[in-house]
Amino acid sequence: MEGPLQTSIHVCHENGQWMSQLPEKLWDIPLYNLALPGSHDTMTYCLDKNSAVSGNESKLVKFLNKCMPCIVHPIIMKWSTTQVLTVTEQLEAGVRYLDFRIAHKANDPSMNLYFVHMVYTTVTVQDILWEVLRWLETHPQEVVILACRNFDGLTRKLHCHLTACIKEIFQCKLCPRNVVPTLRTMWQHGHQVIVSYEEDVEVEAHCELWPAIPYWWGNKTATRALIHYLEHMKRMGRPEKFFVAGINLTENLRYILIHPFGSLKKMTLQSLPCLKIWIRQQDPGPKKECINIIAGDFIGNDDFVKDVIELNTKINPPLHCHSKGAGTKSISFSA
């Protein structure tokens, strides 16, 4: 699998500043009416092989892992890892939605927060927020959406600690939720970060936090079933603002038993050709069946990011959407 991955990383660098290269006709369209690439379970590239199983997992999984760690733990790692690129590499690849599942380890007396997907990560949340900031400082016209979710084991005190860290690190780069987030507006005010927070009490207390972004999760093991689910959700109608169409497949115990030598990566790579066709058929925009964020696993493979970005070439806004004063040179898309 080294060949495709190396190719994708080369392509990544061409997408590192794609927002700044959008044609001017798109600068006044809200970001929730553009097509944005996202990564599902962004931080699983650094899961800790020695980590305990998350406190949020079932008693059965914890028991099996405790009794047969040499067998169960490698299986957990194979089916928990959804990304191989680091967060900086994902941003450089063009990903603009990061799916952060945040947790506090059980019986940990410290205030350290980690990311989690069955097991915990080796890096802390605070370290990754600083890493995102460093990348943004060298890409001043790119905008990133941070979806803070899960919150396994977080007390009110820890929520306050996390929101304080977010505000301290990003400061004026945070876009308040009362702003209509167009690229022109964000550039003019120096905003680069939209933080959605899956905890209503904190959102009400901080104008810099946006409500939780809906995620269309199919919970399917088969590609066709996932596409059927996504088409059903489109017929129901898109949410008014940000939302995510998840093209990630999800294993279950039966699937794992039938595929003893499988992994989430193998499962994902087999589905990509079919999902690629579906992605290219989508349209961004405000209409009922339009899409916004599309998030996937192993985002460095099969031109996923490029295909999502290029959906924006389909947008033809009315003339009254144009306004003057941005002063930034645009680079037109080629279809």
Alpha carbons 102 and 115: distance in angstroms, whole number: 5
pLDDT of residue 8: 41
**Which pLDDT belongs to residue 317?**
81
Question: Residue 255: exposed, middle, or buried by beta-carbon count in 10 A (0-12, 13-18, 19+)?
Answer: middle
Q: Which amino acid is at 85?
A: L
pLDDT in the model for residue 301: 86
Q: How far apart are CA 299 and CA 98, in angstroms?
A: 11
Evaluate whether residue 5 is within a structural domain: no
CA 177, CA 169: separation in Å to the nearest integer? 18
Residue 22 three-state SS: coil
The per-residue pLDDT for 330 is 41
Q: Are 92 and 82 in contact (CB under 8 A)?
A: no
Q: What does the angle CA 26 – CA 30 – CA 36 come to, to the nearest 5 degrees? A: 80
Q: Is there a domain that residue 6 lies in?
A: no
Residue 40 known to be catalytic: yes
What CA–CA distances, in Å, run from 332 to 18, 23, 40, 94, 138? 11, 5, 29, 17, 22
Q: What digits encode the pLDDT tens for the residues 57-71?
A: 555 454 555 665 566
Query: Does 323 fall in a domain?
Result: no
By CB neighbour count within 10 A (0-12 exposed, 13-18 middle, 19+ buried), where does 79 fall? buried
Looking at the domain assignment, is residue 124 inside a domain? yes
Q: Which stretches in the chain have pLDDT values below 70? A: 1-13, 54-72, 319-335
Domain total for the chain? 1
Spatial distance between the Cα atoms of 6 and 301, rounded to a whole number of angstroms: 9
Question: Environment class of residue 129 by beta-carbon count within 10 Å: exposed (0-12), middle (13-18) or buried (19+)?
Answer: buried
Domain that holds residue 192: 26-314
How far is residue 151's CA from residue 159's CA, in Å, rounded to a whole number? 9
- Residue 2, domain member (yes or no): no
The reply to whether 321 falls in a domain is: no
- How confident is the model at residue 69, as a pLDDT? 58
Q: What is the residue type of 218? A: G
Residue 228 lies inside a defined structural domain of this protein: yes
What residues have CB less than 8 Å from 62, skipping those under 6 apart?
A: 53
Give the separation between CA 168 and CA 261, rounded to whole angstroms.
45
In a domain, 307, yes or no: yes
Catalytic residue among 10, 13, 73, 117: 117
d(CA 288, CA 237) in angstroms, rounded, equals: 5
CA–CA distance from 166 to each of 53, 77, 96, 175 (Å)?
A: 27, 29, 17, 12
CATH code for the domain of 257:
3.20.20.190
pLDDT of residue 9: 40
Is 84:39 a contact under the CB 8 Å cutoff? Answer: no
Q: What is the pLDDT of residue 302?
A: 79
DSSP label at 296?
A: E
- Terminal-to-terminal C-alpha distance of the chain: 29
Torsion of Cα atoms, 38 then 76 then 198 then 232, to 10° = 60
